[in-house]
Structure 1
Amino acid sequence: MSVEIWPPIAPHQLKAAVETSQKRELDWLVQDLRETLTNVKHGLEDCYALLAPIDPGSTLVLSTPRNEIVKGHITRVGTRIVKGTIHLRLRTLPQQTLTINPDHPIHLAPLVTLHTLLTHSLDLLTMTLSFTYPTESDSASAKSPSPSSSSSSPQLSSAAFLSSQLRLLSQSISESIAILKGPPLVTAADPSWTTRSIASSHFDPPLTAAAASNHGLGATSIPPISFHLSIQESSIVLWLRSLEAADAPVGFGTKLAFAIGTARRLEHDEADRVFGFCCGGEGHGGPGGSPGSMMPSNGGNNNTTRSTTQNTAAGTGAMGQPEVDVYVREKVRVESADPSLLSLAAKLTALGHTLGLARRNLAAVMGEELED
């Protein structure tokens, strides 16, 4: 089966007609994308609003399922945890209550990065719309130069610019989705994890050296608990680790209890491994405050080396604080789904699909390969 054109067209005329048809199709597609990109901009503005610091914020429950090891709540306003009360009944520490100090809110570094990406995406899309689809006043000012400037295929140059801008916008949205998805859960076979613990100054009252001494950490400024918040699958995840000094003396009664089996250490994937722990004091690794850091140390059964990005010298933390070798006695993970972050992830995913379709259509008309 073949397709013929009637009346017949000379080869050179057919080539010119094909080029004219392609230019018209490209011009039509560029104009049609205006509505699509306007809708994408409205969607990004909705995403931006979901992360805006609007009071009273989102109150999230932090509670371990089927037990009361951890029970409490936190309030997120924008990219910060501004208040919260968490009751702990860990098996390796006395019962206690942690209260977040409102004067020292906790900044969630992933959400700070996400906020920056959303701002960049909105600015990028606004510039793209204003350049590709100028208003009447912009068009009038653009006509003031000599008409020879319009002879260089404005449709093609506009489409090429639009294609490059959509690629940058798609990358930014993909990075935003990856932040909300979070890193995969590490296992015992992966000793390369690094976590940053919230400094004691973010709690009221702060965890003091006396509390550390009472729980086996000796006369140091290191609190007996590592408190870490992260984002995973659009949920707020709290990691709690009960710590003890690696060189703390073990009493004869405790040794005997371990030997005869009347007592045993809690089993988890970080047991019997030595970690270098340092408290970051008042500074913050992100805006507004600073966590300490906890990382695998050269000791025990761990063969990994300390991260040089987290240490300024051997045995010294990033903030100049001395490191203490510790064991993780108990490890608890608590997850709290955040409705705003779940909605944000769904909207960003839909916007990513819309942009992907627009990019594929534009690449097909321009006869180019789609770049990731």
Structure 2
Amino acid sequence: MSVDIWPPVAPAQLKIDEDAALARELNWLLDELQSTLKTLKASLEETYALLAPTDPGSTLVVSTPRHEAVKGHVTRVGTRLVKGSIQLRLKTLPAQTLALDPANPIHIPELTTLNTLLTQSVDILSFIVSESTNSRKGGGGGASIDPKFLSTQLRLLSEYLAESLALIKGPQLTDQAAVPDTAWTSSSVPPSCFAPPLPANLSFYFTLQDASLVLYLRVLEPADAPVNFGTKLALAIGTARRLEHDEADRVFGFCPEGADAQSPITASGSVNVPPKLERTRSIPGGRGGGMGKGRGTETQVYVREKVRVESADPSLLSVSAKLGALGHTLLLARQNLGVVMGDDEDELKVAE
């Protein structure tokens, strides 16, 4: 069964009519996208505001759930931890209390990078909406923004949002088990962020996982330290046993003072980066609660004890949910534009 046009139309004229119809459809779609883009911009600005450094900040509980090995709280303002107190009752350390120094806040690299990505995303949407509005005002006959330019900008925006969502979710625990995270060896929290300073044999390392702030505490010992004869005997006869964890019996190169190298961060908590953000597979700033690569002398260490504490952050959970919804809405808009423009569906997918 076939469909014929009556009266018959010459192939050349049919091509002209098809192009004209497609142009009208594209122009209509560009006009309809204006309301979608404005809604996206408003929602993205609300998401960005959740990371704004506003006082008094968010107070987060930092405590182990079923015992009191770690018990305390920290206060997050924007991308920084500005104050807090944590009591430690670890098996391999004397009981002590760690107090954050308000004069030296802890910067979370993932949050700093997330703030930068959201800033870039807001700038992109603001530019698109501005250009589209100017095109409609100055075009006379209802001219709209260049569809190819719009498609390119929306793809870039999709990549930024996807990177932001991946950053706040963090790596999957299964991936961590397969490829152990060793960023703590050179980017743990600087000892100067505590008053008094952090003990030299304690690694204090923050990261993000599933929109929660995760603290890793590691008690370290030099790899070449002699083992006490009493300890050897106790381990041999079974009256004592080693603490089991995924980093036991492995040697790491730890830079105790290397994390003091701070990245250039403004008073608002955002990082000073060039206007065009360099988007690479590795997130700038690394992972963990410190800044930069270790610059001190490496010490070969074992991890005697390791404790993981997860602190749910309502603001980060809200950011994660909003980013997911924004990404879905943006994908639908890109798909609609791509279909009318004749783009390949594979081109609409954000590279993972």
Q: Bin the TM-score by the shorter chain.
A: 0.7 to 0.9
Distance 1:320 1:117, change over 3 A: closer
Structure 2 matches for 1:357-372, cutoff 5 A? 357-370=332-345, 371=347, 372=349
Partner of 1:40: 40
Partner of 2:312: 337
SS in 1 for 2:134: coil
1:201 aligns with 2:192: yes
CA contact (8 A) 2:207 2:214 kept: yes
Partner of 2:221: 244
Of 155, 164, 182, which aligns to 2:170? 182
Structure 2 matches for 1:49-198, cutoff 5 A? 49-134=49-134, 139=138, 158-185=146-173, 186=175, 189-191=178-180, 193-195=182-184, 196-198=187-189
Gap regions ≥5 residues in structure 2: 267-284, 287-291
CA contact (8 A) 1:109 1:286 kept: no
What percent identity do the matched residue pairs reach?
A: 58
SS in 2 for 1:257: helix
CA contact (8 A) 2:135 2:143 kept: no
- Mapped partners of 2:20, 2:135: distance in 1: 26
SS in 2 for 1:133: helix
Residue type of the alignment partner of 1:358: A
Structure with bigger gyration radius: 1
Residue type of the alignment partner of 1:241: R
CA contact (8 A) 2:190 2:259 kept: yes
How far did 1:132 drift? Answer: 2.3
**TM-score normalised to the size of structure 2?**
0.85
RMSD, matched Cα:
2.5
Partner of 1:306: none
Aligned residues: 321
CA contact (8 A) 1:89 1:96 kept: yes
Partner of 1:270: 247
Residue type of the alignment partner of 2:228: G
**TM-score normalised to the size of structure 1?**
0.80
Partner of 1:255: 232
Partner of 1:327: 302
- Mapped partners of 1:192, 1:56: distance in 2: 33
CA contact (8 A) 2:59 2:75 kept: yes
Partner of 1:13: 13
- Mapped partners of 1:88, 1:199: distance in 2: 18
Superimposed CA distance per residue, residues 20-64 of structure 1 (whole angstroms, 9 cap, x where no aligned partner): 111100000000000000000001100110010011111111111
CA contact (8 A) 2:255 2:295 kept: no
1:352 aligns with 2:327: yes
How far did 1:243 drift? Answer: 0.9
CA contact (8 A) 1:201 1:282 kept: no
Partner of 1:211: none
How far did 1:194 drift? Answer: 2.5
Superimposed CA distance per residue, residues 176-229 of structure 1 (whole angstroms, 9 cap, x where no aligned partner): 111101123355553563222111110111135xxxxxxxxxxxxxx1210000
SS in 2 for 1:333: strand
Residue type of the alignment partner of 2:189: I
Superimposed CA distance per residue, residues 328-353 of structure 1 (whole angstroms, 9 cap, x where no aligned partner): 01001010111101101111111111
